Structure 1
Amino acid sequence: MRPMLATSGDSRTGPPTGPAWAHEIKWDGIRLLAEVRDGRLRMLTRSGRDIAVALPELAGLADVADDLLLDGEAVAMVGGKPSFGHVVDRVHTMSATAAQKLAATRPVTYVAFDLLRLDGMPLDALPWSARRAALEDLLDGIPRVQVSPVFDDGAQLLAATAAQGLEGVVSKRRSSLYAEGVRSPDWLKFPHRDTMSVVIGGWRPQTGTAGRLGAVHVGLPTTDEDGMPLCDEEGRLRLVYAGRVGSGLAGRAGEQLAALLGEVPRTAYPFTTDIPRAEAHGSTWLEPRVVIDVASLGITPGEGRLRQPSYQGVRTDLTPLDLLELS
């Protein structure tokens, strides 16, 4: 099962109006399908990886029903606001012992926003309004689980989320069916910040050091004339260069990313175009495997480079090929 995806809404007009639409907060978390079968809970990322061991505080979902499939997000609240960095730290934890300790000190909440199957009955062919009504009656009293609130006025919600420093708004057509793996115009997203996912193709050390991470080279996958992912002769993905990201890598964030990149195989230069020798000097090229989020001021016309990019965190729920679907 692959989650339904939202289409980017028109920022000039804002969220749609009228009774045909409902509006939810866009949570800055990790998208997860919560599935229960035969008493076992699985928390599935968009790539299909089960990370339930990392989130023991959500074990109560296994008691909701013998057969269940929910769509939602794992959200970590820090100072009253969702922190993507904190939830990323949690989903990286595959040690049950470490996860139990983190659950006590840095818990996540599963914010459910859709019900796709219950007691063996698929619900994806029902309208959103019917799925939503069933969801609201289902999850009362489950620890660390809540249902995402719904609002009628999208413009008002967009203004409120901006004032509170939240990520944005998702508007949903009340009559919409759940289209598995489809980026549907029945769901529209209106984010407040210009954040995008990119793939790391290499890194260079901090000036004056031998191995400390100073910046990463990033790019985006592309397709060939047949619409297939562009790869080299050995089948390795090629990336369109999008620039170098150094901001946001100080301290623990940079140390964690460096440790992750240390496990990625080295490769030949993975980008489709050459970069200046000064930028490439001292760089280590990696197989395009790691997806990260960066915030920026957009992309420079012509060059296709990110403007003032800042590292936000690793997207363990995405693969490089997933980004072709997002483009």
Structure 2
Amino acid sequence: MLFTSIKPMLVASGDEAFDDDDYLFEPKWDGGRILLHKQGERIEAYTRDGQLVTAKFPELKEVAKSIKAYAVILDCEGIVLRGGRPVFDDFAYRGRISLSAKIKQAVLTHPAVFVAFDILLAEKECWNEPLSERKKRLSAIVDTSSSLMATMSVEGKGTILASLMKERNMEGIVAKRKNSKYIQDTVSPDWLKIKHDKTIDVMILGYREEPFSLIIGLNFRTVKNKPVGLVSDGFSQADKDLILSLSKELHTVKEVKTQWIRPELCCRIDYRDRTDTHQLRMTVFRGLLRDKRSEECVWES
């Protein structure tokens, strides 16, 4: 098991935060899944799809010193903090770079932290134990440092933790049954990710009339006016009529289903999730922003 690729246990999607004494609730960290394997002084890092990425993270030398066991496998989320909260794009940057000079610089500008939330091996395999027992092992083995920590968890009180995570602009929470075993390469209903809606201002790049929907976009550091999804929900008839009226002056290319327009209209939306390529999902229209300029619609995370 040590130093071999392991496909981790995955979370299913939940709807709303809840309270239940049979569950532990944890923050949902916004980074990348990393499994850490350690034996003696050797430590290796694997992604969820089995890629060996140890060389990308010089911080692992310090991580190894913070693990109080000779042989261990930790399931972690690798994160990079900005302003006290994890930013997915920053950790994704760490995963992309491969030149040693850039990696050395990134340790200073984008330092990685590994948040351990489960343990598969602690001298012997323990993935078949209940989660509550694995958490005790994890707490005893991980010595918090600048590069490694065990995630916090609360028993039973999911709604309070969800509210706290929303206040701190975190993604949401994960609910896990206390008696759940670690089943590799499985999307388990015993683990539920529960995300809260986020609000963002976007530009309108085009629209479709049947059914009515908007193609929305954002500006990124290296890409301007990038399409990031569709919005089909939340419109009143008055909203639709106003958007169509304002768009007439902005028409550009007409495709089979889509009328593209110049990016001069902006609107506010809620969204629940986003993909690794910044496509926004579960979107809801909240209103036009007549006084906002498209240049101000920027992805800031």
TM-score by length of 1: 0.61
- Aligned-residue offset at 1:30: 0.8
Match of 1:136 among 127, 135, 139: 139
- Runs (4+) of structure 1 moved beyond 3 Å? 243-246, 275-280, 296-300, 310-313
2:131 maps to 1:151: no
C-alpha separation between the residues in 2 aligned to 1:96 and 1:139?
28
2:10 matched to which residue of 1? 5
Amino acid at match of 2:192: L
Q: Is 1:125 aligned to residue 128 of structure 2?
A: yes
**1:171 aligned onto 2:195:** no
Q: Does the Cα contact within 8 Å between 2:23 and 2:177 map onto a contact in 1?
A: yes
1:99: Cα distance to partner? 1.1
Which residue pairs with 1:298 in the alignment? 283
Q: Relative to 1, partners in 2 of residues 1:41 and 1:279: Cα closer, same or farther, differing over 3 Å?
A: farther
Q: 1:26 corresponds to which residue?
A: 28
CA distance in 2, matches of 1:141, 1:10: 32
Would you say how many aligned residue pairs link Structure 1 and Structure 2? 227
Deviations 1:107-141 (A, max 9, x none): 1211100011122x111000001110011111114
What's 2:208 paired with? none
Label 1:161 to 1:246 Cα distance change in 2 as closer, same or farther (>3 A): same
**Distance of aligned partners of 1:246 and 1:56 in 2 relative to their CA distance in 1, 3 Å threshold:** same
- Taking structure 1 as reference, are residues 38 and 95 closer, same or farther at Cα in structure 2, changes over 3 Å only? farther
Residue 312 of structure 1, CA deviation: 8.9
CA contact under 8 A between 2:41 and 2:64: conserved in structure 1?
yes
CA distance in 1, matches of 2:258, 2:181: 52
User: What residue in structure 1 maps to residue 233 of structure 2?
Assistant: none
SS at match of 1:71: strand
Normalising by structure 2, what TM-score?
Answer: 0.66
- How far is 1:297 from its partner? 4.5
Structure 1 counterpart SS, 2:59: helix
* Unaligned residue ranges in structure 1 (runs of 5+): 196-214, 216-242, 258-274, 281-289, 301-309, 314-327
Name whichever of 92-101 and 181-190 sits farther off.
Answer: 92-101
1: CA distance, partners of 2:23 / 2:132: 10
The CA deviation string for residues 173-208 of structure 1, in whole angstroms up to 9 with x for no partner, is: 11110011111111111011479xxxxxxxxxxxxx
Q: Which runs of structure 2 are paired with 1:177-326 in the superposition (5 Å)?
A: 177-193=181-197, 246-248=217-219, 250-252=220-222, 254=223, 276=256, 292-298=277-283
Tell me which of 109, 134, 144 is aligned to 1:105.
Answer: 109
- The structure-2 alpha-carbon separation of the partners of 1:53 and 1:16, relative to structure 1 and needing over 3 Å to count, comes to same
What is the Cα deviation at residue 97 of structure 1?
2.7
Asked whether 1:15 is paired with 2:15, we answer no
Corresponding letter in the other structure for 1:42? E
Name the CA distance, whole Å, in 2 between partners of 1:37 and 1:279. Answer: 59
**Residues 127 and 181 in structure 2, CA contact (< 8 A), matched pair in contact too:** yes
In 2, Cα distance between equivalents of 1:33 and 1:245: 36
Higher-strand-fraction structure: 2
RMSD: 3.2
